[in-house]
Amino acid sequence: MKASRLDSLDRTARLLRGRANRHAWFGLSLSLAAIVIATLLASGYSYGDYSLHSLIATQSENPALWLLDCMPLLFLVWGQYIGTVMSYQAGAMVLDETRELRDEASRLQHELRRAPSGARITDELGLPSRQALLDHLRVAVGSGDAQCALLVLSTDQYQDLLLSQGDSVAAVCLRQLRDRLHAALDDSSMLAHLGHDHFAALLALPADEDAALHAAERIQKALDLPLQVGRSAISLRASIGIALYPQHASDMETLLRHAESATYAALGENRSCLVYSATMDQRRGERARLRAELYGALHHDGLGGDYRLQCALQPGLPPRLRLAPYWDHPKRGRLEEADFIELPNHLSLTHGLSLWLLREGLNRIAQWRQTSHHAALGLVLRLPDAAAVQLDLAEIILRLIRSHDLPASALTLEWPESALIAADEAHRLNLAALREAGVHLAVSGVGAPGTSAQCALYFPVDEAQLSPRLLGKALQETAAAHALHGLIRELRERGQCVVFSGVDDARTQQLIAQTDGQYAEGAAIRHPMSPAAVERWLRQPAV
């Protein structure tokens, strides 16, 4: 049917082009005849004869004939134009129909591939395919009052393994992963392969959240032992998403999609297991929209910056200002740094936001150092986490520092431990080059839950910014206070600067006064200042 429609379109296009060309030639013939007749009549009226000399003289002396002489050319151009337009329209219609044919063929091929035919019930691992799993789910809950739990598993390292070791090694790992999953599940559960390193497990009915979490724990324990490929041991970390029927979905396709959403959320949050919630889909959609809107904010002056004073706790240290960017979102209102600093995940957005932060901070500091008595004023910046693994920071930052006629020591860059861990060897060398040039590097959040108190040992950093939660814990518990003082002594013995953040009340101020720290920031020190407020502060006499 589609092919016959294409043939019909092609015939119609040829017919219309032919008619347009015939009409153009007909108009051309009429205009030529009109020129000949008009020239003969004018020559006979003016000269009384029709010789070649009189015809040429008539043409050269009569301006009205000049316009008539242009008519053949106009008819010719008109015909070609009409033919071109009709050819373009016909080509566009054929292209649309061809695209529809391709889409239809792709859809049919996709449906055929997923159809529950005998050849597609199992895949190359001998496990049920996605469609077979959905069919089994429909049968299992066909009564309408049944419950079930669906687990979807994915790994972090499979893609890297595939690229570095090749298909054969990846296939061996998948077979071993299949065997481990079979061993972790009971005989009444169903294991399916969704493609690549994605597996799904349907627990025996009935199954609730507790049973699903217990099964996920058994699976993780089964994967604790590294896989063996030849003489090499390979460790695969898995993330598991759980969705329950009918709590999380009313049909099987939605149930599987929600279980996969929970898996992706677990991968993104570096969690071993997560149970689906509606906020997961909302968060994924919201982050995508925010990233797109952040592009617009960067190009339409949607970002601004306040400055937090980092007060020196020891004599001889210059004061510093930490840039605290904010985003005046048209719908969400003011978004603080923590709401968008981790949004960039593509190179262009990471580069754009990093450049904005660097230019905003360096422009202000260069101006304030020249116009105030604080000639050694320093700047503290936190760049997007992705900048540590995507950008050639040494070249970008050192070029900007030189362009603002600032010493490299005027800038301190903050990084959370997770960003430093994610950086590969090449990018760590890049950070080390910045440090060698004089830029100070700081690791933030030291002492927070989920971070290592020794993380500053393993990275090329000059400073450690202690977590406000550690300070709060030290105010409440004697053991935490001893741990805080011990950590500060260890950092100082290594020659690292200690910075306190979140110093928001008098009790915390008293606590840090008893330590050997260098800088502190928070509401008890000074509230965030706008650029205009910073200029007023700078005009105050030096103490």
Q: Which two tokens stand for residue 261?
A: 């959403």
Q: Which two tokens stand for residue 196?
A: 């690549």
CA distance readout (Å), 188 to 191, 205, 207, 418, 491: 10, 9, 12, 40, 55
CA distance readout (Å), 222 to 151, 209, 215, 219, 235: 15, 20, 11, 5, 12
Which residue type sits at 150?
Answer: L
- What number of other Cβ atoms are within 10 A of residue 449's Cβ? 9
**CA nearest to 148, candidates 211, 199, 198:** 211
Percentage above 90 pLDDT, the chain: 18
Please answer whether residues 96 and 48 qualify as being in contact, where contact means their C-beta atoms are separated by less than 8 angstroms.
no
* Residue-level pLDDT at 63: 67
Strands 519-520 and 303-312, bridge-based pairing = antiparallel
- What number of other Cβ atoms are within 10 A of residue 478's Cβ? 8
Residue 485 main-chain phi, psi, to 5 deg: -65, -35
User: Using CA atoms, how far apart are residues 280 and 247, in angstroms rounded to an integer?
Assistant: 15
* Residue-level pLDDT at 85: 60
* Residue-level pLDDT at 76: 62
Over its C-alpha atoms, the chain yields an Rg (Å, rounded) of 37
Give the global pTM.
0.55
User: Using CA atoms, how far apart are residues 444 and 455, in angstroms rounded to an integer?
Assistant: 10
Reduced to 3 states (helix: H, G, I; strand: E, B; else coil), residue 142 is coil
For the stretch 265-321, pLDDT in tens is 787 677 788 888 877 766 665 677 777 788 878 877 789 999 999 999 988 899 999
Q: What's the chain's length in residues?
A: 543
- What number of other Cβ atoms are within 10 A of residue 413's Cβ? 24
**CA nearest to 155, candidates 267, 271, 280, 284:** 267
Residue 529 is given by DSSP the state B
Number of H helices, E strands in the chain: 19, 16
Q: Which residues, in sequence order, are CB contacts of 26 under 8 Å at separation 6+?
A: none
**CA nearest to 312, candidates 540, 526, 480:** 526
- Spans of the chain below 70 pLDDT: 1-28, 31, 45, 47, 50, 55, 58-59, 61, 63-124, 142-145, 159-160, 162-164, 205-207, 268, 281-286, 450-458, 542-543
Torsion of CA 416, 419, 421, 424, to 10 degrees: -150
Reduced to 3 states (helix: H, G, I; strand: E, B; else coil), residue 143 is coil
User: Using CA atoms, how far apart are residues 99 and 402, in angstroms rounded to an integer?
Assistant: 54
CA 322 to chain centre: 26
Residue 443 main-chain phi, psi, to 5 deg: -100, 130
* Residue-level pLDDT at 403: 93
Nearest 5°: CA angle at 298, between 296 and 303? Answer: 110
CA distance readout (Å), 353 to 59, 296, 297, 348, 391: 71, 11, 10, 9, 12
Straight-line distance from the first to the last Cα atom of the chain, in angstroms, rounded to the nearest whole number = 88
* Residue-level pLDDT at 408: 93
* Residue-level pLDDT at 90: 56
* Residue-level pLDDT at 57: 72
* Residue-level pLDDT at 225: 80
Helical ranges in 147-306 per DSSP H: 158-165, 167-184, 209-222, 252-268, 278-299
* Residue-level pLDDT at 10: 59
Q: Which two tokens stand for residue 269?
A: 């949050």
- The strand pairing partners of 328, in sequence order, are 334
User: Using CA atoms, how far apart are residues 225 and 215, in angstroms rounded to an integer?
Assistant: 17
